Structures are given as C-alpha cells and as structure tokens.
Structure 1
Amino acid sequence: MPVVIHATTTPIAGLQDIWAETFGEPQICIAVLDGLVDQAHSSLVGAKLTQLEPLIPNISNQGSAAQHGTHLTSIIFGQHHESIKGIAPQCRGLLIPIFMDGKGDVIAGGGALPIAPCSQLDLARAILLAANHGAHIINISGGQLTPSGEADPLLVNAVRHCTNQNILIVAAAGNDGCNCLHIPGALPSVLAVGAMNTEGLPLDFSNWGELYRTQGILALGENIPGAVPGGGITSSSGTSYATAVVSGIAALLLSLQLKRGQVPNPQVVRDAILRSAIACEDQPAPDCRRLLAGRLNVKGAMSLILEQGETMNENIELMTVKSTPIERTNPSPPQRQNPAVQAATYSAPASEVASQTMQALRSSPQAKEQVNSGGIQPAACSCGGGNSVPAQLVYALGQLGYDFGTEARRDSIQQHMGEGANPQDPRQLLAYLDENPWDTAAIIWTLNLDATPIYAIQPQGAYAEQGYGRLRQFLLEQLTEGVERISVAGVIIGQVMLMSGQVVPVILPTLRCMYSWTTAALIEAVCGNPPAESASEQERGAYGQRSHSVINFLERVYYELRNLGITPQERAINYAATNAFNVERIFESAIQEEMDLDRIEVERSPLCRPDSDCWDVKLTFFNPRRVFEQARKVYRFTVDVSDVCPVSVGRVRSWFVR
C-alpha cells in the first residue's frame, strides 16, 4: 500500500524508496525545540526520546503548545506499530520545550493555536543545549517575523556554533503569506522550510522572502496528521509541519550515510536537499518566487547521497570548518532588541477538519531496529539510554544585577529597609544588606548582558554565606570602583522567574572562579604600571600601543564574541579574557614585533591530557605597515574546560603563517 498523508492525496514521492534502505539509525539524533510532548501517546511508545528540563514556566501537558509539540514529534518519531507512521521512527529524539500556551482559546478547526512566543535569547540557549547533547539536526518549527533577516547576536553565535560543529538547523519559513523572512530561518546555514500541497503548489500562507530562494525548500505542509496529547489524531496545515517532514527526511539521509559507511554529514545532506530540489523550470508554478529553492525531492537527494557522497564531502566547505574566526572590525555594543520567536502554527478551516482527524501516515511493514555500534559519531548522542543528563557547565561573563522575583518580596524588603527606602537603588540595598546579611539570599542575583539577565546566581551549601558576600562585594565594586565585568563559573541547577516574567537558568557558582575586574586593572596586570610623567615619549607610546592592543582584544571578546558561556569553545574564550598571564606574554611579544590583533579563533586542541576537554585559543596578528611583505603570526594556548573552572595547559606556542 502506498504511503499517504490523506485519503485523496498522492504519497510523499521517494519516501518508500528510502524506507527500503533505512527507518533511521539510533546514532542519529534530532532535537525538537517546541512545546511539551506527550510521550505517553500510543504513537510515541517505544520511540527513543529524552526530554531536557523546560526553559519555560507554567508548562502544560494539554495546552496549545503541547498540541503543537506532540503533533510535530509524532510526524518525525511516530512508531510504525501505530496509525501515525513517523518519517524517521528509529532515530533518537531530544525534546527541549521552548513554547508555552498563549492567551485565548483554541478554536476547533480555525485560527492559529495561541502559543506564546519565546525570546531569541531562550532560543539561542535551547540551540546550544541541543548541540551540547549530541543533536545532528535541530528542528525549529517557529520564528520571528523580521524586516531585515538580522537576529540577536547571541542567536547568531548559537547558529554559527552549529555550523562549525556540522549540525543542521531546520526552521520554518513562516505562515504570514508574504514576501518576508523569519528568524532563525533566514540566518545563513539554516535550512528554511515552506509549505506546499500535494500538487507541489505553495500554500497561500507560506512565506517566500528572498533569502529563502537560496536556502529554502518547500515540503508537504497541508493536512498533515499527527498525535494529540492524551490520545487521538488530528490534521493541521502549516510550515511547522512541513519543517518536521524535512527534518525527518534529513535524518533518514544521515542514517543512509551511516549505513553506507560514510561519515554522517548534516551539511552535505542540506546541500543534497537543496541541489536536488524540483525548481520552477522542472515543474512550473504561477509565481516561481514562492517555490523558494524548489520542492523537496526525496529520491533526488537520496541519489546524491548514494552516488556523490564522497565528492560532496570534498567540496562542501562547511564540513571543514573547525573554528570560529572573527574578522577584524571595530566593535560596538549591539542594539537593544525585544526579540521573540513564535511557533509557526496554522490550522485547516473547520470544513476540512472532520475528514482529516482520522487520517494518518501509513507505511510498509514495520522495520526492525538496526544498530550500528561501530558507526562514526562526530557528535555522540546522549539523548538515549536512560533519563540522566550530565550537568551543564557554565563559565560566563557579564555584569551583576539583582531582582526580587515578585512584588511581594520587593515590598517586604522595602518595608524592612524603612520608610522612604528604595530597594531598587543598589546603594541603599547594599547598606541594608550589610546590616542584615541573611536577607542576601532573599534576592535573586543575576548575571546580565547589556542589561538583559541571562542567569541567576544562587550559592548553596556550606559556603553559601561567602558566596553571597562575594556577590555583595561585586555589586559594590561596580558602583564605587568602576568594575565592568565579572566571571561566574558553575553548573546549571534549575531556573527561576524574574519580576518581568522572564525565566533564566540558575547557576550554582564555584567561588574560586568568580572574579571581578575593570579593563584598566586588567591592562595594568598585563602591561604593568603606566609610565611616570617623566618617562620618555617613546616609553609612553609603547605603553599606549600595548594597552590599546589589550583593550582591542577584551572588547572583541565582550562584544563580537559575547556568549552564554555554555559550549566548550565559549568557556575557553571567556577564560582567555580573564587570564592575564597568557595574554600578557602574547601581547608583549606581538607588540615588540609591531603587530596588531587580526583574528580570534577557538578549535579543539590536538594535545590534551586523558579525560580532559582541551581547546586552543588562537590569536592571529599582522603588521599593518607591512601587510604584504610580512607573514602573519599565530599565538596559540590551550585551555582545559573539563572542570567547572577552566585551566591553562602547557605553554604558549607561536608560528608564522601566510
């Protein structure tokens, strides 16, 4: 019997062909960033799914966000012993809830599901979590409408990290029905997905922004059946569901690479999907712009993987990206935004729903699970084999702030401070806490980037009192000594809601890795004391050049490379910004050779101790006065980030490059 989506539609062309080869390999991991998933649904019983802690408060397992997340997950992972036949049922799934229910009622048969948007900051955090837990593919069936295609720098960095780690992000093009773009679908290296009907025509609501025409694909997104929390089946239309279809196909193509002895390469799969797409000249449409790069061609992509895999491995430049180069620029603080990513939902009209609810993906007979324990896993998937999740290490930079969590807590502290007191004034608050240090723990201490909280800091255990004392000291230094940055190392132990409604992860800090500093103090540690007034002009000039180079390095870390301190690369570069010892030797040598900083890169170190996680921070310098005559010079030092507190390993190495 052919595979059908609806009783009156044609099958997904090529799906039976690839199912004849594989139903997905357990080594291939797909992360679904969406609403909560009802894993007890009969279609998902037996699926290899692991859910991480939600990034959202007040999560519901029956609301609109759960409906969206459960539907999408069943499209990919629905087991073939049930009516919903998932596209890649034998792959592993990593579930990261990022959406929560919005305001309003779900109207059966009409209108979009009321799902509250998630911030770009939270999306970036979820992407990095998925990457750290071994995802090969990240499915994001949502986005934020954008006029420019530009995203928050933290989200850009998270997507760039996935590119460098050869992880494919598949994101919805959006359901606005316009020549417009959504974030993250419009970001480079992301595979954007629009929706079409079974005749290959784009659905009216599917977006077709210009960037999508080189990095977007149309897939079936009309009347797609899926699981309903609590049991049952429904059908819906939208780019959300088309995105899940493409993620499932991409996972099968990765599984096919693995089964054929190739290295699973998500960027090669992305290229195969785009290159094999059925374009307007192959199958005309009224408006070719709305076809994006073309329609999904499963057999064509499969053929490219089978016949040209090795050639493509050699030609896809993205596969060989191992580091995160930062081009030489004049950094400036990013503009403030209020970004939010919305689930790309769309529901079919009421007249269609009744005939759709009992339709489902049907398949050929159930495949037996195939396990290839000897397969090469570039990102080992930790999303299966139990419910334990490794502790998430953090080494983050930012400024210290505080929050009261609720108005009641704020008002309570205000009353204890005395009439007319203002707890929002940090000087008044610190004076109160000096007299009442036990109330320090009643405040939520936050680590901020550009006034946006990214973490809460919560000391615990025998030395919690010293930890809170350190936080009060940091806040005082920010007020009186001009402290610009603090570093916080620790592990994520949960989350907390701030007064604004924002939910941030909680760091259990390690005291020995908590530092505060001013740029001037760090320059003095690196460059020594400023020359005396009696010093020669040459001495003052040399010191000025040296300090300028250090400032350039620090500002580029703070602004160009600003990050959440989650990935090993981020923790290594953040540690480099606080480790004056290595920086001092590097800049002293570079300045003697009249060189300026060109690039900052981080890549895995070939030299590492057993049971360690070592990364090389590479600083490349050039002589601006002899750009074409003199070779560039690379300085490289190794940082071991396997422990909560990173540590330098070995000596600084250097060499010339052309």
Structure 2
Amino acid sequence: MEILGLSELRNRTQGSPEITIAVMDGPVDRTHPCFQGANLTTLPTLVPHAARSDGSMSGHGTHVTSIIFGQPDSDIPGIAPQCRGLIVPVFPDDRCSASQLDLARGIEQAANAGAHIINLSGGQLSDFGEAEGWLENAVRLCQERNILLVAAAGNDGCQCLHVPAALPAVLAVGAMDARGQPLDFSNWGSKYQTQGILAPGEQILGAKPGGGTERLNGTSFATPIVSGVAALLLSLQVERGETPDPARVRQILLQSALPCDAALPADAQRCLAGRINIAGALTLLTGGNMSEAQEAVTPAGVEPSSGCGCGGGLSVPDATPAQEEPQAAVTPSNTVQSFTPTQSTPMTSSNAVTPSQAPSELASSQLVYALGTLGYDFGSEARRDTFKQLMPPFEISEGVSVPANPYDARQMVDYLASDISEARSLIWTLNIELTPVYAIEPKGPFAREAYLALQELLAGQIQPEHDDDYIERVSIPGILTGRTVKLFSGQVVPVIEPQSTRGLYGWKVNSLVNAAFETVQAAEGEADRDAMSRTLGSFLNRVYYDLRNLGTTSQDRALNFSVTNAFQAASTFSQAVAQGMELDSITVEKSPFCRMDSDCWDVKLKFFDPENSRRAKKIFRFTIDVSDLIPVTLGEVKSWSSPY
C-alpha cells in the first residue's frame, strides 16, 4: 500500500542513527536479508531472543520490525532504515502473550537503553483504559523522559480500549484501508478520539522468519508505520540542529490528522482523531502553515457505549493465509493480566537517557534496589523432593513427628539454620503482592553472609505480627545480571545478585513508628503517636502498594531507599507530624544539585492538615544519590510552605 506523503519525507531523510526506536514484540529473525546493514541491537529479556521459523510471535515481531528497519535495497524497504533499533522481545512463541509486569520491564529497559520511540503492537482489553501500577509507572517514566510510546488500538472491532494505548501520553494507532477508511476490526474507544490516529493497516508488506515476505492486516502493522514516520520527523529535527522532541512530534501528528471521508458518516466515529497526514506533519514541523485542505480536525466526539460486546484482541497469524476471521483457539486474550499482540489474520503472500554512574566496577551494571517480601522456589519436582528427603521429620508435639514439608517456611528456616550451604540450592525470590519479580542469587566473596541474611529475614517473616522480631518488608540491592530462571510454576524471572549484606534490610511498620516517634520527640518535644503511626504507615504503604515498582530506574531506587531510611524520613516530616498534618503526596524529581559523576534525585513529601483545608501545605525535600549500589542521602533537608 502506498502511504501518502511518505516519499516526500523519505526524500529528505531516511532516518538518523541518533534516533533510537525500540520494538517491543516477539523474537526477530535478524538474519533475514532485509535487515542486512540495519543498526539493530537485541536487549536481553525474559523471552528467548532466537526467532523460530514456525513461531507465531517470531513471525509477528519480524514483520513489525521490518516495516521500520527493512533496508532500502531489500524486498522490504522500511520507513526509517537508518535509525538505530532496539529489539525487546516480550511475546514468547510458546505463550503468545505477556503480563503487564513483563511489559513494564520491557518499557523500562528500552527507556534505560536510550529509546526515543517505543513501538508496541499489542495490548490488553480494559473496561475504562485502566492498567496495573507496573504499567502506569512505566508509561509515566516515558512521559517524564520525553519518550514516545506508540501502541496499537486493538482489533476487536468495537468501541473499546486497550492498554497501554489508552493511557495518557501514549499515541494510539488504528488501522485504515487504501481509501483512508477505518477497517472494520479497528477499535475506536473514547480515549482514542483525542490521542489516536489511523494509519494503513491492510495488506502491509513485511518479512517472514527464515526468509520471504507476506502481507498482513491489523493495527499491529499500522503501529510501526506511525513509529517510523515519527522517527523520520525526529531525524529531521536532528539534521536541522534541533534537539529531538518526541512529545512535540506526537502533538504534530495529532494536530495534522485529517478527517475521514464525510460521505461515509457511519465510519466517522471510527476515525479517532483523524488519518495520518505526513505532508501536514512535515509542514508543521518545519514551521509552515497547512493548507485549508490539511487543517487539523477536532477529535470525533463519540460517546462510549455501555460495553464493547466483543472478545479479546487478535493475537497471532493463523497457519492458513486465506483465512480472514480471528482464531479463538490461539488467542489467550481472555486470560487475566495477559497481553496479546494486536493483529488481524494474514493475507495471501505477495541520545541515550541513562543514569550517570560513579566510575567503578559497577559503571556498566544495571543496579537494582527493590522492595518486597522474600520467598523461595524449587524450580522442579526433583529439587523439591531432594529437600523433602534431606530435611528431618517435623515434630508437631513431644514424641510425635511427621515427614518434612519443604513448603513450610518454618521447617525450611530451621533446616537452613543447621546447614546454610543448602540455601544455594533454593531459588530465592523477591515478591511484590505474591508475585515473584526477581530471583535472588548472591555471588562473590560475601555470598555465604548474604545467604545467612536471607535466612534470617525469612525467619523474621514467619513470626507472628505482634512479635518484636516480625519482618514485614525487605529491601534487596543488587546487580541485574541479564540471566533468568524458570520457577516451578513456569514463570520466568530475572536474576539479581546482591554483592554483600549491605542494604539487605527487613522492617515492620510498627517498629519504624516507634523509632520515628523517638526521633520526632527529640526534635519537636512532643508528638501524637497515633498521628505518627498514620503518617509513617501511609508513607511506607504508599510506596509499597500505590507506587510499587521494580527498583531499576534511578527514580525508583531513590524512592525505595527513602522508605528504608526510616530515621531520615522521620526527621524530614517531624515538624509536619507535630503540627497534626498528614501525608498528601510523594514525588521524585531529578535534582539540579549533585556531585560530579553522581546521579541525584529529590524526594519531595507534601503534607496537609486534614482538619483545615485552607492551611498551607508543607513540603519537605531531601536529596538521594543513587550512583552506587547502596544509595545515600546528601545535604540538609529543605522545607517550605505552599498553598497548593
């Protein structure tokens, strides 16, 4: 399909190597002839990166990637062949879906690797465009770093929403035919009317794993067209000596969008904010004025229906090219918390934004400072049975014992206390709300001490909640290794390596309240213990539940460290607590003041008076340097009042 205006744009640029596009999709066959000469890098993820010729997600990922990066002299001339590409596999061939947690990992990884644009040809149906905290945080990170996330609107053929396409600051993409009319399967949910555009999505030429080409339908293949055009516009900014501005390019693409054919009013509500208008976008970018025929349109105001009345998104191409209908048997979109690439069935064939690191052996490492609870896993039945046979019988009363149960954490704690070397045979996990997010594997000369610390922390977690030794949360600092392990459930998680026992903390909210109460009393002379408990408990739980994160970005490491540093937190808001104020919000911003070769962030705590809304809010700020494995606080705590 010829894309209007693309030839003119490509005559001016075929992309700049300074612009990076990340493709989050299935594995990509980088040996395909169309990629010869392309600047592509595959990032290690939880998904095997080797493409399979018979893999549905390998086919999907290879097709999408070729639309952007196919080289000019190949059978598939891509839209932005000279840009730099990051391949981020998130959809495995054996599952054809990914969790929102895995998707958040991929977005953060692409952001840390310097992506200007992230292409995601997939999504999950959502009633009101809501997403889990993992994904919301990752999308917010893109907005803060000015990274454009381009996501498929979905192929359910209904007035409904997919995430992340429906999340703020994302550019949603629907599919249209050669006449510029929306295709029947393309979604048109309410939020897409202000943040979505249509692009060609019918019989789009792309690469097949193992060689050859094919033409496929779907919003999955309209999405990389928009990503490629956005990359060319950013490349023009670079060539004009300007700083590439993805947010401005997003605005230009939406502002320049054209209405659908007014002669077909039935399709007007499906037009989103309009059809992609490359010529108009180019004119706006270069400072010109669009002609009357190119004037931007206001979004189509379509009222949302009570329900979309449709199934999940279409996920993978069926083995029969001639088939037009979605194959429910291979569409796992009804699975809770899963993502599926959004495509229709195939047609007949025819400047890096990274944290500054202190110069050390950790300079090239991905640091992690994560919060959660400890768990352990066996990985296989054989390993579980080994523990069952080696562990002594469990005595339930005097003279009465039962066979060992390796799943009983109390028995495991006692067994490891007598033989800590066995701790190496377990897969230790860090869990957030019962979801394993990391495997913990201490390495180096202090590995034994780290395993002893893990055993002690686990022993604290199994104590009664009123016990002084009870541990509610743990913090785990370490290095993200790039390796993964498969748990007994089949879930794959990344491995982090603690380098020593430094930073391996365990705490209970009540214990921190007591410590903070003493600090407040020392600073202010008197304080309300109940108010102190509410404020500190709100602070800790806000981070753990509402702001839960993976602890890989500089912002998240600063935020998580602020939780574990209880005395710093207590001294920070002791004045507010003494005045009866309560926590309103927590924000993390890049600090304008920092030491050389460091990475500093300001954690701001805002407090309000629940009994007097007219009273000025109190804001406290302390600075955290996260350039080393264990973050540290810098300088004095700053405070001021604000009416907002």
Shorter-chain TM range is 0.7 to 0.9
- Checking the alignment, whether the CA contact within 8 Å between 1:274 and 1:294 is kept in structure 2 is yes
Closer, same or farther: CA 390–86 of 1 in aligned 2, 3 Å: farther
1:483 to 455, 471, 494: 471
Residue 597 (structure 1) aligned to one of 570, 575, 583: 583
Look up the SS of the partner of 1:242 in the other structure. Answer: helix
Shift of 1:543: 2.6
2:123 is the alignment partner of 1:143 = yes
Work out whether residues 135 and 381 of structure 1, in 8 Å CA contact, stay in contact via their aligned partners in 2.
Answer: no
1:86 to 69, 78, 81: 78
* Residues 21-30 or 450-459, more deviating: 21-30
C-alpha contact (below 8 Å) 1:524/1:530 kept by paired residues = no
Question: What's 2:408 paired with?
Answer: 425
TM-superposed deviation, 1:602: 0.7
Q: Post-superposition shift, 1:49?
A: 1.0
Q: Please, which of 483, 491, 496 is the counterpart of residue 507 of structure 1?
A: 496
Match of 1:367 in 2: none
CA RMSD of aligned residues (A): 2.4
Question: 1:28 touches 1:381 (CA, 8 Å); kept in 2?
Answer: no
How do residues 217-256 of structure 1 correspond to structure 2 at under 5 angstroms? 217-256=197-236
- Among residues 505, 517, 521, which one is paired with 1:527 in the alignment? 517
Match of 2:338 among 325, 340, 345: 340
CA distance in 1, matches of 2:417, 2:568: 37
| Worse overlay, 182-191 or 467-476 | 182-191
| SS in structure 1 at match of 2:480 | strand
Q: Which amino acid aligns with 2:77?
A: K
Offset, 1:253: 1.3
In structure 2, the residue matched to 1:366 is none
Deviation at 1:626, TM superposition (A): 4.4
The letter of the residue matching 2:28 is V
1:627 aligns with 2:602: no
1:74-94 per-position Cα deviation (integer Å, ceiling 9, x unaligned): 110111122211101111111
CA contact (8 A) 2:200 2:222 kept: yes
**Shift in alpha-carbon separation, 1:153–1:509, aligned structure 2, 3 A:** same
For residues 59 and 285 of structure 1, what CA distance do their matches in structure 2 show? Answer: 46
Q: What's the counterpart of residue 124 of structure 1?
A: 104
1:260 maps to 2:248? no
- Judged with a 3 Å threshold, the aligned counterparts in structure 2 of structure 1 residues 530 and 643 are, in CA distance, closer, same or farther, namely closer
Q: Residues 177 and 204 of structure 1 are in contact (CA less than 8 Å); yes or no, is this contact kept in structure 2?
A: yes
Q: What letter corresponds to residue 272 of structure 2 in structure 1?
A: L
8 Å CA contact 2:115–2:352 kept in 1: the answer is no
Query: Which residue is 1:461 aligned to?
Result: 444
- Aligned residue for 2:312? none
Q: Aligned-pair distance for 1:392? A: 1.4
Letter in 2 for 1:492: L
Whether the 8 Å contact between 2:112 and 2:352 is mirrored in structure 1 is no
Deviates more, 1:157-166 or 1:583-592: 583-592
Alignment match, 1:643: 628
**Structure 2 letter corresponding to 1:41:** H
For 1:528, the aligned partner's letter is: E
TM superposition shift of 1:454: 0.5
SS at match of 2:502: helix
Q: Is 1:472 paired with 2:446?
A: no
**Taking structure 1 as reference, are residues 54 and 61 closer, same or farther at Cα in structure 2, changes over 3 Å only?**
farther
Residue type matched to 2:616 in 1?
A: A
Q: 2:480 aligns with which of 482, 492, 500?
A: 492
In structure 2, the CA distance between the partners of 1:517 and 1:149, relative to structure 1 (3 Å rule), is: same
CA distance in 2, matches of 1:162, 1:594: 36
Partner residue of 2:44 out of 50, 53, 73? 53
Q: Which moved more, 1:50-59 or 1:139-148?
A: 50-59
Among 71, 96, 99, the residue aligned to 2:91: 99
| Matched AA of 2:230 | A
The aligned counterpart of 1:365 is none
Give 1:39's aligned residue: 30
CA distance in 1, matches of 2:477, 2:506: 12
- 1:416 is matched with which residue: 381, 387, 390? 390
Deviation per residue, 1:228-267 (Å, 9 max, x gap): 2222222111111111111101111111222223332112
**TM-score normalised by the chain length of structure 2:** 0.85
Report the 3-state secondary structure (helix = DSSP H, G, I; strand = E; otherwise coil) of the residue aligned with 1:473: helix
Deviations 1:141-198, CA, capped at 9 Å, x for gaps = 1111223322111111111111111111111111222222222112121111111111
SS of 2:77's equivalent in the other structure is coil
Matched AA of 2:46:
L
Give the secondary structure class of the aligned counterpart of 2:241. Answer: coil
1:617 aligned partner: 603
Where 1:219 maps in the other structure, the secondary structure is: strand
**Which deviates further from its counterpart, 40-49 or 414-423?**
414-423
| Equivalence for 1:299 | 279
Q: Which residue among 243, 266, 269 is the counterpart of 2:249?
A: 269
Secondary structure of the corresponding residue to residue 597 of structure 1: strand
Matching residue of 2:325: none
Aligned residue in 2 for 1:385 = none
Q: What displacement does 1:42 show?
A: 1.7
CA distance in 2, matches of 1:389, 1:179: 48
Following TM superposition, by how much is the alpha carbon of 1:61 offset from its aligned partner in structure 2, in angstroms? 3.5
Percent pairwise identity: 51
Partner-residue secondary structure (3-state), 2:162? strand
Gap regions ≥5 residues in structure 2? 290-334, 357-361, 394-402, 464-468
Unaligned runs of 5+ in 1: 6-10, 103-114, 310-336, 358-376, 383-387, 532-537
SS of 2:44's equivalent in the other structure is: coil
CA distance in 2, matches of 1:98, 1:625: 48
Candidates 173, 198, 210, aligned match of 2:153: 173
Q: Which of residues 15, 18, 30 is equivalent to 2:6?
A: 15
TM-score (norm 1): 0.83
- 2: distance between equivalents of 1:43 and 1:458? 40
CA–CA distance in structure 2, aligned partners of residues 288 and 88 of structure 1? 31
CA distance in 2, matches of 1:552, 1:199: 55
Shift of the 127–572 alpha-carbon distance from structure 1 to 2, 3 Å rule, reads same
The 3 A distance-change label for structure 1 pair 223 and 58 is closer
Aligned residues of 1:621 and 1:634 also touching (Cα < 8 A): yes
Q: Quickly say closer, same or farther: Cα 1:569–1:545, change in 2 above 3 A.
A: same
CA distance in 2, matches of 1:381, 1:441: 32
Matched, 1:289 2:269: yes
Question: Are the aligned partners of 2:198 and 2:274 in contact in 1 as well (CA < 8 Å)?
Answer: yes
Tell me, yes or no, if the aligned pair for 1:549 and 1:587 is still in contact at 8 Å. no
1:83-122 CA-to-partner distances (Å, cap 9, x unmatched) read: 21110111111111111114xxxxxxxxxxxx62111110
Using a 3 Å threshold, how does the CA distance of structure 1 residues 15 and 529 change in structure 2: closer, same or farther?
Answer: closer
Task: Between the two structures, name the one with larger relative contact order (CA 8 Å, sep ≥ 6).
Answer: 1
Counterpart of 2:550 in structure 1 is 564
Note closer, same or farther for the CA distance 1:101–1:132 as it changes in structure 2 (3 Å cut). same
State the alpha-carbon separation in 2 of the partners of residues 48 and 142 from structure 1. Answer: 24
Worse-matched range after superposition: 144-153 or 453-462: 144-153
Q: SS of the residue aligned with 1:12?
A: coil
Structure 1 counterpart of 2:593, one-letter code: L
Partner of 2:143: 163
1:27 corresponds in structure 2 to 18
Distance 1:602 1:58 in 2: 34
The answer to whether the 8 A contact 2:440-2:495 is kept is yes
Q: 1:378 to 1:459 in 2, by over 3 A?
A: closer
Q: C-alpha displacement at 1:566, in angstroms?
A: 0.9
On the 8 A contact 2:527/2:577 being kept in 1, the answer is no
- The one-character-per-residue Cα deviations of 1:344-379 (angstroms, maximum 9, x if unpaired) are 132334xxx1xx42xxxxxxxxxxxxxxxxxxx473
1-structure distance, mates of 2:156, 2:441? 42
